[in-house]
Structure 1
């Protein structure tokens, strides 16, 4: 019966077997065909549902359940809605019940909601043909499909779509044999440029469709499962939309596509469930292949159970394609594992979409897969060559990747209590063209942990924002910045690596653009530890850094703020330039202690033959440098550290350097207590043999400075001037078998000046020097209330071939008489134990000469020697000290000599 634009049908039983069809007919004025099954038995549909009414939508209700077989198909001009609801609400208040009612009135209002009277809700299922041969495919979508722009809706209890129809494609292999290439899924539900709605509920209530997508409100959700290469596909000239609402959603070895091929914008994919799980290589794809913008992918869950081997991508694929859609995932916990790959990128002029992850508790990435499809994907889109990633790296690891070859890469944002990256999992934003790399923002209230390498020769993984290209100089885009805020941060096992350059949280630039900045703020402790235990292509440990090799761009700074920072077992913090741009700075603020200690051996593999390797040491360090040996190279950045304590030991170091014409950076340490032990060093060096840049200035402002066991504060230049060193310690400076030295090894540069000022300065086999080879020696200025040095200690400013330098010491005489112990009044009479003196033997007077220390017993040979006043002016060149006069107060008020910090 027709009422208005609605045509109503009632069936006691409704089944369509294989080879059968059911045709709905009516007036062209019909807009909605509304059918119900009243007999209480589920419907089995394995044939064709058809309608010859143009553009009419078909609503099919059977509260007992609906099952679609492998041969089920649709031939409709309009949309298809199937439900196990008890009634269909029409307009505001009218209901069309599946079970006939007394005095039933049929409404002309449009369908608005599916209604369920109780919690006993039947299921909807659909089963495909499984694997077929390619020649068996007729070229049309399998399963249920509607015309372009139309909608398929499944609304009921549990919904199961399984055993999707698919076949394997082949390509000619290297040996001339056909080999498997990819899997072609033929579709389970297909609505090109249209919409797929799936809503599973387990309680009474209404599922509204008035706003174009299902809304289950506060109803309890049921289960939706798609498995066995099932495919939900709304791809088209303008991609459609997929809306899924349930209590539990599982995708197992299946896919959801919303690809855009034309100039219309894509709709997107939206999944809301209590729990979401992706398993066994499932795929979510919202790519744009035309001028239209790719659709957004939104997933919200109370609990994200797992995403195992998922391939989740929103890409702009071709030149001139529109912007990529964004990805937004939120849940109580988010877990990606076993080679999961989440990617938003642009291969054309469109911009990449934003990737957002929000979890109430934890976000976790980890696990490795040898999945053939993921191997194919990475071989096609990442390596740009036929190398199999499994052979090169030992597996495919979980990644979040935002990239661009033309437009700007998308940003990545993560918020959670904890973030865990293990098994070489990575988060990276990349540009390989004129666009800019996206920014990465991470906020973790409790902790961020990056741990666990996965095997020999593997990508060690990490967090990176990159401007890179296989063709150096071809990139003009800027690398983005990384911002990380957390309660604690742990980076271990050789993590991070970007563009095969370093196992660190790093920016790497291979073009003309600028690197971004790394900004780390941690309320608790930061631990950077170790190297990849299985080896790597580079002898580099875990760490944090910013670097680049561009021609003109400047490179980003590293800022770290924490309660404490530990860099150990070969880890590092670095900012470096490998090109003509200036390197970035490293700025560290810790309220407690900075600790740098130890080294680790690394297996360094050949980049061409992984069976070949050498073993090298990676030293724990803070390092800033300019590493291109060219006279026009950029300047190294600076290092600034503020801490209560700095402890450097076991070959640990803080260093700035230049191997070209750029200047080495300055080092400034503002610290309560500075301790260097066992070959530790703070160094600024210039190593280019000719026309090298100058070494940087080292400034230490502390209460206590102690160097022991062959440790050093030093500046060194091969061909330029040596850098200055200024050490201002309120309480003490103590050198034991260590040195403070500024030197020029070759060339005509002058030795740098060394200034030390402290209440007490003690040199026990310690050296303070400012020497040069060809140029003039530098100057050494020492001011102290108590200056004591051993006989093995040296204070000098010499030159092998140039003018000698100047040494000036301002220190009072040391009088220790007040602290001497009185000698006993009676001594042992040892005359009977001694031979007679010459005088007694000869009877002649004998003269004698006795040497003693003033006001003291003779000083033992191996004891510290008090320094008398001395004025070593061993150069006839004029200096500030000569002009102002020895020991004049003006010498020690000269900020250029003593450093710019007032004390």
Structure 2
């Protein structure tokens, strides 16, 4: 009876015991040098050594939640560890994946890079983490190429490993079916065992690289961190060879032309972060790129770090199809310490930024903010804001001052420039494209110092509606930037607060920037405005409008403000108004619309110059009388 009870207990416990252990099964492709797995100690030893490289091969590779697996290098001379999975199942990394070096019988942190290869797919669970001393590369490629020496293949493994004693040169994708995905759900928090450093999500040491190369790459609430190093995501949906370039500790992918890309997505508060004292590039290459539901990508110079020679890493997001940033998501570069901010570039066939999502470049320390550039073959669109008024758009700024609960900000530098180029550009529903100098406290003394960046727009058509704005302004101590808009065909500004221009705010000290607009045709209606104004201490900038065909200013907005173009010196201002120069094929100003230059403060209004090739019509009064 007692035997029967224990037998039943054993049967009942078998599934639980199997589930609680990692499943790491070496294959026999390495012969006598096959990988040796010590399950009780979570150690992986053995493998094939070829110079500075160490190779491992497995039929299955999974790490259970709460457990770990460490690849043990035989010494500190190993620079790269390669692990492939030759079976048919994806790998599920739910615990710790790491590396160590055996130095005279003592395990130490290993400087080796770790390459993990499984063409069937790879999942990093919510509690997954890395404990590596070098860079980490994970891929669903079929093989890793080593120059002309051969390859290390997961789908066509050989019983021997060639003399692969050089650095890897490429990742080979040759499967007929679509490549499997890499999924990162990791938001683990803790401290690494070998380096005793805190980590968040999947993280590599300072200055190292973190590369995810699919198939599709899906960040589902996951975190990637490479302080001062490099994060790169990319994927192929077909056959191709992706080059690997080593630049110091940085590992970079090189995508050739003509390949079929897979998709990359960041959803559900996913995060990529490379902030440090300098460096920290982020690169994404895909067919379509989605950044949604509170997800964000950040590079920059962290508070208290950097020097005058430091530069934060650049962020490059490049899609063959659609780039979507939505639902309070963000891409940002910032200077909180000392140094220059990194640049942000988005490239796609279409780029859509919506629902209170933003691309921003900020200097709140000592140094210039980085530039922001968006290029699209077809459309760039901005729309949507939250109930509390947070808009979608692009913001570059120099910021100083203090808010309760935050460190004192001391922005001193130049704001980043903004450049947009597309066949069609639209801003709607309160969206903004803005460059500014901004102070969180008054008076201006000790506030942000420098100059806001310039804004340049090149488009086939431009639509600014429903309170959307294009502006370069100063709210601190420094000059506002210039706004340049070049539109081949139609430029339309419609609705209350819809505007383009430059301003010196009431608490500011500095010169306003110029507004230069060139278009095939121009329509300004329902209270929209093209203006340059000063409310503070400084001159307003000039406004120049050149229209090849028809320029129309029509009506008054529901707030009582006229559809207009011009320059103004407000009652609180000390400064000169700017000039308004307008040239058009034909001009229509009706129903309360205005072309104006005015002063209500301490300073003269600017001049107005109007040149019309054909007909000019001024007629009617607005609904405000």
Mapped contact 2:431–2:469 kept (Cα < 8 A) = yes
Aligned counterpart for 1:582 among listed residues 511, 533, 536? 511
Instruction: Give the Cα separation in 2 of the matches to 1:233 and 1:327.
Output: 15
Deviation at 1:76, TM superposition (A): 2.9
1:123 paired residue among 76, 89, 110: 89
Render the CA deviation track for 1:676-714: whole Å, top value 9, x for unaligned: 1111111111102xxx21111111111322211237xxx
The structural deviation recorded for 1:597 is 1.0
Instruction: Give the CA deviation at 1:298.
Output: 6.5
Return the offset for 1:154: 3.2
CA distance in 2 between counterparts of 1:199 and 1:19 reads 24
The aligned residue for residue 551 of structure 2 is 646
Tell me the equivalent position of 1:193. 134
- Aligned position for 1:241: 209
Does 2:565 correspond to 1:636? Answer: no
Could you tell me which residue of structure 2 aligns to residue 441 of structure 1? 373
Residue pair 1:329, 1:357 contacting (<8 A) in 2 also: yes
Q: Aligned to 1:626, which of 511, 514, 534? A: 534
Closer, same or farther: CA 66–494 of 1 in aligned 2, 3 Å: closer
* Cα offsets for 1:475-495 (capped at 9, x unmatched): 330112111111111110011
Q: 1:200 to 1:494 in 2, by over 3 A?
A: same
Q: Distance in 1 between matches of 2:329 and 2:471?
A: 22
Aligned pair in 2 of structure 1 residues 474, 210: CA closer, same or farther (>3 Å)?
A: same
CA drift at 1:650: 1.2
Partner of 2:111: 149
Who is 2:60 aligned against? 65
Deviations 1:375-403 (A, max 9, x none): xxxxxxxxxxxxxxxxxxxxxx1111111
The question of whether the paired residues in 1 share the 8 Å contact of 2:569 and 2:598 is answered with: yes
Aligned twin of 1:252: 220
Structure 1 gap ranges (5+): 1-14, 23-31, 38-42, 86-120, 130-141, 166-184, 261-265, 277-292, 368-396, 497-503, 531-540, 599-618, 712-737, 739-903
Pairs within 5 Å for 1:721-736: none
Indicate which of 415, 418, 431 corresponds to 1:479. 415
Equivalent in 400, 404, 407 of residue 469 of structure 1 = 400
- Do the aligned residues in 1 keep the contact of 2:575 with 2:604 (CA within 8 Å)? yes
1:128 to partner: Cα distance = 3.7
Task: Describe the SS at the equivalent of 2:412.
Answer: coil
2:340 matched to 1:408? yes
1:249-269 Cα deviation digits (max 9, x unpaired): 434333444346xxxxx4x34
Cα separation, partners in 2 of 1:52 and 1:212, compared to 1, 3 Å? closer
Change (3 A) 1:354 1:542: same
Change over 3 Å in CA distance of 1:52–1:492 after alignment to 2: closer
* Aligned with 2:483 (options 543, 552, 558): 558
Q: Which residue of 1 aligns with 2:619?
A: 708
Distance between the aligned counterparts of 1:676 and 1:343, measured in 2?
46
Between 1 and 2, higher relative CO (CA 8 Å, sep ≥ 6) is seen in 2
8 Å CA contact 1:122–1:156 kept in 2: the answer is no
Q: How does 1:278-677 map to 2 (within 5 A)?
A: 302-308=261-267, 309-316=269-276, 321=277, 323-347=278-302, 348-349=305-306, 350-367=310-327, 397-405=328-336, 406-454=338-386, 456-470=387-401, 474-496=410-432, 504-510=433-439, 511-523=448-460, 525-530=461-466, 541-551=467-477, 553-562=478-487, 563-570=489-496, 571-578=498-505, 579-591=508-520, 593-598=521-526, 619-628=527-536, 633-643=537-547, 644-651=549-556, 652-659=563-570, 660-677=573-590
SS in 1 for 2:312: coil
Give the 3-state SS of the residue equivalent to 2:341 in structure 1: coil
Q: Decide which structure has the larger Cα Rg and report it.
A: 1
CA offsets per residue over residues 733-778 of structure 1, 9 Å max, x none? xxxxx9xxxxxxxxxxxxxxxxxxxxxxxxxxxxxxxxxxxxxxxx
Q: Partners of 2:64 and 2:317 in 1: how far apart?
A: 38
Instruction: Report the alpha carbon displacement of residue 440 of structure 1 after superposing the two structures with TM.
Output: 1.4
* Alpha-carbon distance change, 310 to 17 in structure 1, aligned in 2, over 3 angstroms: closer
Following TM superposition, by how much is the alpha carbon of 1:239 offset from its aligned partner in structure 2, in angstroms?
Answer: 4.3
- Contact (CA 8 Å) 1:36, 1:60: kept in 2 or not? yes
Q: Distance in 1 between matches of 2:263 and 2:426?
A: 24
Q: Pick closer, same or farther for the CA change 1:126–1:424 going to 2, 3 Å.
A: closer
Other-structure match for 1:34 = 33
Structure 1 residues 658 and 298 mapped into 2: Cα distance closer, same or farther (>3 Å)? farther
Q: 1:296 to 1:624 in 2, by over 3 A?
A: farther
What's the offset of the Cα at 1:554? 2.4
Q: How far off its partner does 1:204 sit? A: 3.9
Aligned equivalents of 2:376 and 2:19: distance in 1? 56
Whole-angstrom CA distance in 1 between matches of 2:99 and 2:172: 28
Distance 1:232 1:460 in 2: 29
The residue number in structure 2 matching 1:743 is none
Tell me the distance in 1 between the aligned counterparts of 2:71 and 2:377.
Answer: 54
Change over 3 Å in CA distance of 1:303–1:245 after alignment to 2: closer
What do you get for the CA RMSD once the two structures are aligned?
3.8
**Matches of 2:384 and 2:231, distance apart in 1:** 33
Distance 1:159 1:357, change over 3 A: closer
Q: State the 1:57 CA deviation.
A: 8.0
Aligned partners of 2:464 and 2:492 also within 8 Å: yes
When the two structures are superposed, what TM-score results if normalisation uses the length of structure 1? 0.51
Q: Give the alignment's TM-score, normalised by structure 2.
A: 0.72
- Note the 1:124-139 alignment, pairs <5 A: 125-126=91-92, 128=94
Contact 1:295 1:325 in 2 (8 A): no
Q: Is the 8 A contact 1:583 1:624 kept in 2?
A: yes
Could you say if the C-alpha distance between residues 589 and 249 of structure 1 is closer, same or farther in structure 2, counting changes exceeding 3 Å? Answer: closer
**Partner SS state of residue 414, structure 2:** coil
C-alpha distance in structure 2 between counterparts of 1:20 and 1:403, whole Å: 41
What's the secondary structure of 2:339's corresponding residue? coil
How many residue pairs match? The answer is 511
> Hey, what's the Cα distance between the residues in 1 that align with 2:226 and 2:231?
7
Gaps of 5+ in 2: 1-16, 25-30, 101-108, 143-153, 189-199, 239-247, 403-407, 440-447, 557-562
In structure 2, the CA distance between the partners of 1:46 and 1:72, relative to structure 1 (3 Å rule), is: farther
CA contact (8 A) 1:197 1:213 kept: no
Q: 1:210 to 1:273 in 2, by over 3 A?
A: farther
**1:128 and 1:443 mapped to 2: Cα distance?**
39
